Amino acid sequence: MAHGAGGKASRRLVEGLFAPLLFASGSEPLGDAAHLDFSGTRIAITTDSFVVKPLSFPGGSIGELAVNGTVNDLAVSGARAEALVVTYVLEAGLPTPVLEAEVRAMGEAASKAGVTIAGGDTKVVEHGKADFMYITTTGIGRPLHGVRVDPRSVRSGDKIVLSGPIGDHGITILLARGELDLEADLRSDTRSVLPLVEAMAKATGPGIRWMRDPTRGGVATSLNELARDCGLGIVLTEEKLAVRDAVRGACELLGLDPLHIANEGQFLAVVAPEYTDAALNALNLCPGGEEGRVIGEVREQPAGAVLVSTRYGGSRIVDMLVGDPLPRIC
């Protein structure tokens, strides 16, 4: 299960097995979407399978995740989603209303995100396989003008911006499974972050050096990948991280770090220092971006690692997610 958790084991699987056998060139850092040249037109493309359990939860369902997740992967690669294609692997005996609810959720999420669904495919497998349904969404998009996301362009002194509170999605799923005797008024943060990204891009274009949506593996894993790809250190200020009480409480009970918990409607950006005020201003003015903050900065040291300075003057290294404390989160 750890190989699917988006942390260390996932990265080893991708770098050790998939990339050498599938990808022509291993020199580019792995991003959220590939940008290709197509007869002179740049196209961004990304694909994701969704296997979240349960199918629906406070604040969303697999259908919305499948649209928003793909729109967001394009957004943080610096592209606006234009069209999606989708496949459903359905379990025999799936009640039609369950399927219809998710198809409807996808249609509505797509319409909200301003993206067309251009086609799809359906397969049916035997009862007991596929936990009702797995959905795979692929999106193609158009690069945002003037935005170029590349971890190799990150410099010491750049600021780390985070769009809002962390851990809502992961802890919501955990609670929705009902395996813990915990209740909290918490909802998944699933949404399209494209409007936020576009607002920031418009205000700061070339000032954005890198973006990522910290889904599986959380903020810590995304920033560790960045640290590795740019060879610099990331230093976070713990008190700047917004964490709701319900998320903090559940994490404390379970011995989890909110920095490792999945988000579905947040994004991280590295912004050149001279553009930080403009970026933050644009983000905060955009509906849904009010809680965006600078949470840290890039430094020469600790090279390749993420350090969190705590509110009591201490500091700790935060690694990528190891193992899989919360399987099947998206």
Q: Using the rule CB under 8 A, which residue among 58, 112, 131, 319 binds its own copies? A: 131
- Cα torsion angle, 223, 225, 229, 231, sign: positive
Q: Which is nearer to its own copies, 270 or 330 (CB)?
A: 330
Q: How far is residue 96 from each of residues 86, 119, 128, measured CA to CA in Å? A: 18, 20, 16
Q: Which is nearer to its own copies, 140 or 174 (CB)?
A: 140
Q: Using the rule CB under 8 A, which residue among 26, 27, 38, 185 binds its own copies? A: 38
- Do residues 219 and 269 lie in contact, with contact meaning Cβ atoms separated by under 8 Å? no
Q: Using the rule CB under 8 A, which residue among 12, 15, 29, 119 binds its own copies? A: 119
Q: Which is nearer to its own copies, 116 or 301 (CB)?
A: 116
Asked whether the bond before 325 is cis by omega within 30 degrees of 0, the reply is no
**Stretch near its own copies under the rule CB under 8 A, chosen from 38-46, 153-161, 190-198, 283-291:** 38-46
Q: Using the rule CB under 8 A, which residue among 27, 41, 311, 314 binds its own copies? A: 41
Q: Can residue 187 be called a binding residue for its own copies (CB under 8 A)?
A: no
- Cα torsion angle, 119, 46, 211, 312, sign: positive
- In whole angstroms, how close is the CB of 99 to its own copies at the nearest point? 7
**Stretch near its own copies under the rule CB under 8 A, chosen from 100-108, 152-160, 226-234, 292-300:** 100-108
Asked whether the bond before 95 is cis by omega within 30 degrees of 0, the reply is no
Q: Which is nearer to its own copies, 51 or 278 (CB)?
A: 51
178 is written with which tokens? 């009902």
DSSP-H helix ranges across the chain = 8-13, 19-22, 62-76, 96-113, 168-176, 194-204, 218-230, 245-254, 276-285
**Stretch near its own copies under the rule CB under 8 A, chosen from 123-131, 229-237, 292-300, 310-318:** 123-131
Q: How far is residue 158 from each of residues 207, 269, 277, measured CA to CA in Å? A: 9, 10, 12
Q: Can residue 267 be called a binding residue for its own copies (CB under 8 A)?
A: no
Q: Which is nearer to its own copies, 134 or 210 (CB)?
A: 134
Coil, strand or helix: which one is 292?
coil
Which residue is it, tokens 């249609």?
107
Q: How far is residue 253 from each of residues 57, 141, 171, 256, 257, measured CA to CA in Å? A: 21, 41, 12, 8, 10
Q: Which residues contact 104 (CB under 8 A, 6 or more apart)?
A: 63
Q: Which is nearer to its own copies, 34 or 278 (CB)?
A: 34
Q: Which is nearer to its own copies, 102 or 257 (CB)?
A: 102
Q: Can residue 145 be called a binding residue for its own copies (CB under 8 A)?
A: no
- In whole angstroms, how close is the CB of 127 to its own copies at the nearest point? 9
Q: How far apart are CA 243 and CA 261, in angstroms?
A: 11
Q: Can residue 54 be called a binding residue for its own copies (CB under 8 A)?
A: no
> Is residue 223 exposed (0-12), middle (13-18) or buried (19+ Cβ within 10 Å)?
buried
Q: Which is nearer to its own copies, 13 or 307 (CB)?
A: 13
Q: What are phi and psi of 300, to 5 degrees?
A: -65, -40
**Stretch near its own copies under the rule CB under 8 A, chosen from 32-40, 157-165, 199-207, 245-253:** 32-40
Binding-site ranges for its own copies (CB under 8 A)? 1-5, 10, 13-14, 17-18, 21-24, 33-34, 36, 38-41, 43, 45-51, 82-83, 85-90, 92, 96, 99-100, 103-104, 106-107, 110, 116-126, 128-131, 134, 136, 138, 140, 142, 327-328
